Amino acid sequence: MSNVPGQPEVVIVGGGVIGLSIAWRVAEDGCRVTIIDPAPGRGATWAAAGMLAPVTEAHYGEEALARLTLHAAGLWPAFNADLEAAAGQGAGYLRSGTIVVGADHSDRLALDDIRAYQTSLGLAVTPLSRRESRELEPALSPSSHGGAYVPGDHRVDNRLLVAALVAACRAHQVTFVTDRVVAVDRGRTGAVSGVALETGSALAAPAMVMASGWDLASVQGIPAGALPPVRPVKGMTLRLRAGGRAPRLSHTVRGLVHGVPCYLVPRNDGSLVVGATSEERGADRTVEAGAVYTLLRDSRSLVPGIDEYELVECATGLRPGTPDNAPVVGWSPVPGLALAVGHYRNGILLAPVTAAAVADLLAGRPLPDVVAPFGPERFPTATSSDLSAGVAIR
């Protein structure tokens, strides 16, 4: 569909996987969409590994989040097919499952505990002996301790995904503004009316979606009480290119190495993403030698053949973390301002469900039940009493 005068207008602040997915879906719904971002796709989205892992990411006490991530995983096949059709290019989506292994006996016991919890949630996890796991993935170390096969945890190439989302947005006439929003303007009613940009210009914004990842507080003009608590959680991944003799992986391998999680995610071209650190270091993006060493040491203990790979990149990103590790999707107390932030360690997986939910919000449709628990009102700081609720734009 092409944009025509009279279509509702939406400004999206932030063009990571969340902002881009929303922009595409909302433009498809018939809105005129502008994305503002100084470097679309280069935030946490760029550093991510691209695991779509509702099962191995299910943690104790996060059952509502697990329902959301499972729902998102169920949306991925159609999301991917629609995206390929809209963009004319693929995103490297693969449904080849995940193998979980322990480096030593106590890692194996810890993984057995987690498997019992996952099974209690009704998730499909098949225990594997060392021999069985090496039959599925011969590159695993002979000294690794078998763990489990998780058929429902898949993967996508997050960087191909960014390219496909940008192409899909362009196909739907989404406008990209390469700039940073420094302030939100609000009219006499308190509703959003526009944004001020770092380069000095301004844009009208009758409706706005904040999809800026962890970075909410640096934008002026939104009352502090209207913003949920989102913090940066530093993470590093390594990109490894396969040399001629390097053993290839056909599944994602997730391991516990002396109590520390580690993963290796293969790409279609045989390269690998190894990750990831998780560090409470504020907005620091430094590549520290110790973190690179730890990731290589731990991943090598699971797959010794990574010695044959070339180390081509160390990428750091800032996960948008919230106090309950779950995203914030819904109207803010500022009229006209929707939030889609705080996707923490699952933003790639959650993109289809968040994009659909924000399209529902903007169109005045009710949110799906599975998304409703994740509104900003669950945080007291985001429910300032002098602000009224947001409104649909049509």
Q: Quick check: 344 and 233 in contact, CB under 8 A?
A: yes
Subset of 338-377 contacting ligand FAD (CB under 6 A) = 343-349
Shorter beta-carbon distance to ligand FAD: residue 158 or 301:
158
> Are the C-beta atoms of 338 and 389 separated by less than 8 Å?
no
The only residue of 28, 29, 153, 215 in contact with ligand FAD, by rule CB under 6 A: 215
| 237 contributes a contact to ligand FAD by CB under 6 A | yes
Q: How many residues interact with ligand FAD (rule CB under 6 A)? A: 44
Sequential DSSP letters for 309-358: EEEEEEEEEEEEE-TTS--EEEE-SSTTEEEEE--TT-HHHHHHHHHHHH
CA 47 to chain centre: 10
CB of 2 to ligand FAD, least distance (A): 26
Q: Write down the least CB distance from residue 39 to ligand FAD, Å.
A: 5
Contact 304, 29 (CB under 8 A): no
**Alpha helix positions (H), the chain:** 17-28, 44-47, 63-87, 105-120, 130-136, 158-171, 289-302, 347-363
CB nearer to ligand FAD: pick between 108 and 155: 155
Rounded Cα distance between 102 and 113, Å, is 12
Interaction with ligand FAD in 145-184: which residues (CB under 6 A)?
180-181
Least Å distance, CB 331 to ligand FAD, is 17
Of residues 300 and 319, the one with the C-beta less far from ligand FAD: 319
**Sole binder of ligand FAD in the list 10, 22, 27, 47 (CB under 6 A):** 47
Kindly calculate the radius of gyration of the chain based on its CA atoms and give it in whole angstroms.
21
Q: For ligand FAD, which stretch binds (CB under 6 A), given 81-89, 128-136, 206-214, 300-308? A: 206-214
- Residue from the set 22, 23, 27, 51 that interacts with ligand FAD by CB under 6 A: 51
Please answer whether residues 90 and 236 qualify as being in contact, where contact means their C-beta atoms are separated by less than 8 angstroms.
no
Is 38 one of the binding residues for ligand FAD (CB under 6 A)?
Answer: yes
Which residue in the block uniquely carries the two structure tokens 């000095």? 200
Residue 252 interacting with ligand FAD (CB under 6 A): no
Which part of the chain contacts ligand FAD (CB under 6 A), choosing from 32-40, 95-103, 105-113, 355-363?
Answer: 32-40
Using rule CB under 6 A, residue 25 touches ligand FAD: no
DSSP assignment, residue 220?
B
Query: How far separated are the first and last CA of the chain, in Å rounded?
Result: 18
CA–CA separation, 15 vs 34, rounded Å?
10
Cis bond before residue 44 (omega within 30° of 0): no
Query: Is residue 389 a contact partner of residue 333, using CB atoms and an 8 Å limit?
Result: yes
Q: Dihedral of CA 27/70/342/293: which sign?
A: negative
Q: Two tokens at 339?
A: 């939030």
* Smallest separation, CB 35 to ligand FAD (Å): 8
Minimum distance from residue 360 beta carbon to ligand FAD (Å): 18
Out of 11, 24, 34, 45, point to the residue binding ligand FAD (CB under 6 A): 45
Q: Which among 26-34, 40-48, 60-68, 101-109 is the span making contact with ligand FAD, rule CB under 6 A?
A: 40-48
Instruction: Pick the binder of ligand FAD from 43, 152, 330, 376 (CB under 6 A).
Output: 43
**CA dihedral for 241, 247, 252, 256, sign (positive or negative):** negative
Nearer to ligand FAD, 129 or 201 (CB): 201
| Interaction between residue 49 and ligand FAD (CB under 6 A) | yes
Nearest of 108, 106, 121 to residue 59 by alpha carbon: 121
Q: Which of 22, 23, 44, 66 forms a contact with ligand FAD (CB under 6 A)?
A: 44
From candidates 12, 14, 103, 367, binder to ligand FAD by CB under 6 A: 14
Q: Cβ of residue 274: shortest distance to ligand FAD, in angstroms?
A: 10
Helix 17-28 crosses helix 158-171 at what angle (to 10 degrees)? 30
Choose, by CB under 6 A, the member of 211, 339, 357, 361 that binds ligand FAD: 211
> Contact positions toward ligand FAD, by CB under 6 A?
13-19, 36-40, 42-45, 47-51, 180-181, 211-213, 215, 218-219, 235-237, 275-276, 317, 319-320, 343-349
